C-alpha cells in the first residue's frame, strides 16, 4: 500500500482534529454534496474520510449501507467506523482504492486532494471506481485568503517567527488551493463536464482557547509547526493570533472558504 506522506500529521489526536478542522466538516460536507449532487439510492465513496464528517452527512442521504469510506490513518478509520458501523470503512489511500471499477455513483474527497501523495493517481482512482456518468467531487481550503483561521494563523506565525514559518505557510505551499489548479486537476484526469466554484461556511467557537487548544498538540501542518516552537515563541504566536482575531473574550464565529471541483466519469 502507498504510504501517504500527507497523512503523517493526521495520525493521532482524533479528538483534537474535531476541534481543529472537524468542526467545519458537517457544514462543508453539506455544501460539497449539494455541489456534487447525490440521490437517495446512490452508492457513494468518501476518500480521506478522517473521523467521518462527510461520510456521516452522506449516510443521512443514502443510508450507511450505501456509504464506503477510506483513509490511510488507522485512528481516523476507527472513529469513522464507530460512527457508521454498517458502512464499509477501510484503511486505504486514494492512490490505491480497494474497490472494483464502476462501483459507485459518486466519489467525494473533502480537504484531501492537497494531502495526497500523488493527486493525479488519487483522483484517477476516484474516477475509476465511479460508474460512467457518475460524479467525482472534491474541495480544498482557500489557504491563501478565505480560510480565516488558517490564514490568520500563518500571518501571525510570520509576525513572531518569520524565519521558521516562511516555508510552512500553507497559503504558499499547498497544492490545489486555487480554483484554477483544482479544476485543472479534474481536467488532467479526463473527467468530463468539469465545473467548480466556492463553498463558504461559518463555524462557532466557544472562546479563543477553543480555537487554540488543538494547535500545540501538533494536529495538521499548522499544529506541527506550532508544536515545533519553543514555549516562548509558542506563547507569542498565541497572543498574535488572538490579536489578529480581535482578542475575542467569549464566543465568536469564523468564516471559511473552500474551492470545489466536480466532474463526470
Q: Which part of the chain contacts ligand SAM (CB under 6 A), choosing from 36-44, 82-90, 92-100, 256-264?
A: 92-100
CB of 219 to ligand SAM, least distance (A): 9
- Applying CB under 6 A, among 58, 111, 138, 191 the residue interacting with ligand SAM is 111
Complex with ligand SAM: residue 36 or 53, whichever CB lies closer: 53
- Applying CB under 6 A, among 54, 129, 152, 237 the residue interacting with ligand SAM is 54
Selection from 71, 60, 45, 111 nearest residue 256 by Cα: 111
- Applying CB under 6 A, among 14, 56, 57, 73 the residue interacting with ligand SAM is 73
Grid cell, residue 58, equals 452522506
CB of 129 to ligand SAM, least distance (A): 13
Q: Quick check: 185 and 176 in contact, CB under 8 A? A: yes
Complex with ligand SAM: residue 99 or 160, whichever CB lies closer: 99
- Applying CB under 6 A, among 13, 14, 16, 25 the residue interacting with ligand SAM is 25
Within 119-148, the residues that bind ligand SAM by CB under 6 A are: 122
Check binding of 265 to ligand SAM (CB under 6 A): no
CB of 173 to ligand SAM, least distance (A): 15
Binding-residue total with ligand SAM (CB under 6 A): 27
CB of 128 to ligand SAM, least distance (A): 14
Selection from 59, 27, 32 nearest residue 44 by Cα: 59
Check binding of 116 to ligand SAM (CB under 6 A): yes
Site string for ligand SAM, 194-233 (x = CB under 6 A): ----------------------------------------
Check binding of 110 to ligand SAM (CB under 6 A): yes
Q: Which part of the chain contacts ligand SAM (CB under 6 A), choosing from 36-44, 65-73, 156-164, 226-234?
A: 65-73
Q: How far is CA 14 from CA 19, 39, 50, 52, in A?
A: 9, 30, 8, 11
CB of 36 to ligand SAM, least distance (A): 14
HEC letters along the chain: CCCCHHHHHHCCCHHHHHHHCHHHHHHHHHHHHHHHCCCCCCCEEEECCCCCHHHHHHHHHHCHHHEEEEECCHHHHHHHHHHCCCCEEEECCHHHCCCCCCCEEEEEEECCHHHCCCHHHHHHHHHHHEEEEEEEEEEEECCCCCEHHHHHHHHHHHHHCHHHHCCCCHHHHCCCCCHHHHHHHHHHCCCEEEEEEEEEEEEEECCHHHHHCCHHHCCHHHHHHHHCCCHHHHHHHHHHHHHHCCCCCCCEEEEEEEEEEEEEC
Interface residue list for ligand SAM (CB under 6 A): 4, 6-7, 10, 21-22, 25, 47-50, 53-54, 71-73, 76, 93-95, 110-112, 115-117, 122
Amino acid at each position: 500500500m502507498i504510504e501517504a506522506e500527507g497523512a503523517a500529521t493526521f495520525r493521532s489526536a482524533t479528538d483534537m482534529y474535531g476541534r481543529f478542522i472537524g468542526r467545519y466538516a458537517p457544514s462543508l460536507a453539506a455544501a460539497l454534496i449539494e455541489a456534487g449532487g447525490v440521490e437517495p439510492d446512490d452508492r457513494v465513496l468518501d476518500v480521506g474520510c478522517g473521523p467521518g464528517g462527510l461520510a456521516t452527512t452522506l449516510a443521512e442521504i443514502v443510508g450507511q449501507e450505501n456509504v464506503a469510506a477510506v483513509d490511510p490513518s488507522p485512528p481516523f478509520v476507527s472513529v469513522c467506523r464507530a460512527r457508521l458501523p454498517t458502512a464499509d470503512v477501510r484503511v486505504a489511500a486514494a492512490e490505491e482504492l480497494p474497490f472494483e471499477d464502476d462501483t459507485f455513483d459518486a466519489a467525494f474527497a473533502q480537504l484531501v486532494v492537497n494531502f495526497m501523495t500523488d493527486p493525479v493517481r488519487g483522483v484517477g482512482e476516484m474516477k475509476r471506481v465511479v460508474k460512467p456518468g457518475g460524479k467525482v467531487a472534491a474541495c480544498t481550503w482557500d489557504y491563501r485568503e478565505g480560510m480565516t483561521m488558517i490564514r490568520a494563523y500563518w500571518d501571525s506565525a510570520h509576525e513572531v517567527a518569520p524565519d521558521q514559518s516562511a516555508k510552512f505557510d500553507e497559503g504558499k505551499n499547498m497544492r490545489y488551493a486555487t480554483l484554477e489548479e483544482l479544476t485543472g486537476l479534474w481536467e488532467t484526469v479526463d473527467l468530463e463536464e468539469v465545473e467548480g466554484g466556492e463553498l463558504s461556511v461559518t463555524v462557532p467557537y466557544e472562546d479563543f482557547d477553543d480555537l487554540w487548544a488543538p494547535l500545540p498538540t501538533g494536529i495538521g501542518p499548522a499544529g506541527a509547526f506550532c508544536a515545533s516552537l519553543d514555549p516562548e515563541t509558542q506563547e507569542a504566536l498565541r497572543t498574535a493570533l488572538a490579536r489578529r482575531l480581535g482578542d475575542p473574550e467569549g464566543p465568536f464565529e469564523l468564516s471559511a472558504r473552500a474551492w470545489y471541483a466536480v466532474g463526470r466519469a
